[in-house]
Homo-oligomer: A and B are copies of this chain.
Amino acid sequence: MDPDAVAKAFVEHYYRTFDSSRAALGGLYQDASMLTFEGDKIQGAAAIVAKLSSLPFQQCAHAISTVDFQPSGPSGGMLVFVSGSLQLGGEQHPLKFSQMFHLMPTPQGSFYVLNDIFRLNYA
């Protein structure tokens, strides 16, 4: 599969799902998956979904500025690096963010998120 297409399809799917139904992100993670969210470390699909679902806002809209990707080594993984902004419901100004994902291939020919690190970029 074309890595450029994989990266862009993943990013589009991830943020569309995040903005519409965070609980549905669980299918992208596995037990070994790690999320570091603003410095909080969470491991495992269930705990990651619980964390994302518990974030204190109801509405969120991501706007993506850049998507970079590289192969991560012989295991067939791919690193995806995203920058953009997000608009929370009820807030006046969007927030800048950066996020990286390490996608690993599944035996079924798809990918799951092994590593996920998110940071807001305070201006």
Assess whether A72 is in contact with B70, with CB atoms less than 8 Å apart.
Answer: no
A interface SS class: strand
Q: For the complex, is A68 an interface residue (Cβ under 8 Å from B)? A: yes
The answer to whether residues A83 and B98 also contact, given A70-B117, A72-B72 and a CB cut-off of 8 A, is yes
Residue among B36, B68, B121, B122 making CB contact with A117, cutoff 8 Å: B68
Q: Does A100 contact B (CB under 8 A)?
A: yes
- A102 contacts B79, C-beta separation under 8 Å: yes
Residues of A within 8 A of B (CB): 34, 36, 39, 65-66, 68, 70-75, 77, 79, 81, 83, 96, 98, 100, 102, 104, 114-115, 117, 119, 121-123
